[in-house]
A = this chain, B = another copy of it.
Amino acid sequence: MLVSEYFSNLGNDYAQVVPLTVFVAVLCLCLIIGHLLEENRWVNESITAILTGCLAGAIILVLSKGKNSHILTFNEELFFIYLLPPIIFNAGFQVKKKHFFQNFLTIMLFGVVGVFISLIIITAGSWWLFPKLGFVGLTARDYLALGTIFSSTDTVCTLQVLHQDETPLLYSLVFGEGVVNDATTVVLFNTIQKLDVSRLDSRTILPVVGDFFYLFLTSTALGVVAGLVTAYVLKTLYFGRHSSVREISLMVLMAYFSYMLAELLQLSGILTVFFCGILMSHYAWHNVSESSRITTRHVFATMSFIAETFIFLYVGMDALDIEMWRVTKLSFGTSMGIYSTLILLILLGRAAFVFPLSTLSNYMNRKAERTPVITFKHQLIIWWAGLMRGAVSIALAFKQFTYSGVTSDPINATMITDTIIVVLFSTLVFGFLTKPLIRYLLPHQETIKISRRESVPPKEDLDVPLLSLEESVGTNMSRAKDSLSRLIESPVCIIHFYWRKFDDAYMRPIFGGPVSTPMDC
| A contacts, CB < 8 Å to B | 7, 10-18, 20-21, 24-25, 27-28, 31-32, 34-36, 38, 76-77, 80-81, 233, 237, 239-242, 244-246, 248-250, 252-254, 256-257, 260-261, 263-266, 289-292, 294-295, 298-299, 301-302, 305-306, 399, 458-459, 461-462
Contacts and interface: CB of A to CB of B under 8 A. Distances in A.
20 contacts: A11-B266, A16-B81, A17-B263, A24-B253, A24-B256, A28-B253, A28-B254, A28-B257, A31-B253, A32-B233, A35-B239, A35-B242, A245-B298, A245-B301, A245-B305, A248-B299, A252-B302, A291-B462, A295-B295, A299-B299
A241 B252 CA distance: 27
A10 to B, nearest CB: 7
B35 A246 contact: yes
A368 to B, nearest CB: 36
Contact of A306 (B237, B249, B299): B249
B257 A24 contact: yes
A419 to B, nearest CB: 19
A18 B254 CA distance: 16
A264 B38 contact: no
A458 B240 contact: yes
Contact of A246 (B12, B31, B242, B290): B31
A264 B10 contact: yes
Contacts of A399: 13
A264 B21 contact: yes
A24 B298 CA distance: 22
A458 B241 contact: yes
A292 B38 CA distance: 19
Q: In the assembly, how many copies of this chain are there? A: 2
Contact of A459 (B249, B254, B289, B458): B289
Given A237-B32, A254-B28, A459-B289, A298 B17 contact: no
A31 B249 contact: yes
Contacts of A17: 81, 260, 263-264
Nearest to A24: B257
B458 A257 contact: no
A361 to B, nearest CB: 33
A299 B291 contact: no
Nearest to A230: B28
A245 B24 contact: no
Contact of A294 (B21, B240, B295): B295
B24 A248 contact: no
A77 B16 CA distance: 8
Contacts of A32: 233, 237, 250
Given A257-B24, A264-B12, A290-B459, A250 B31 contact: yes
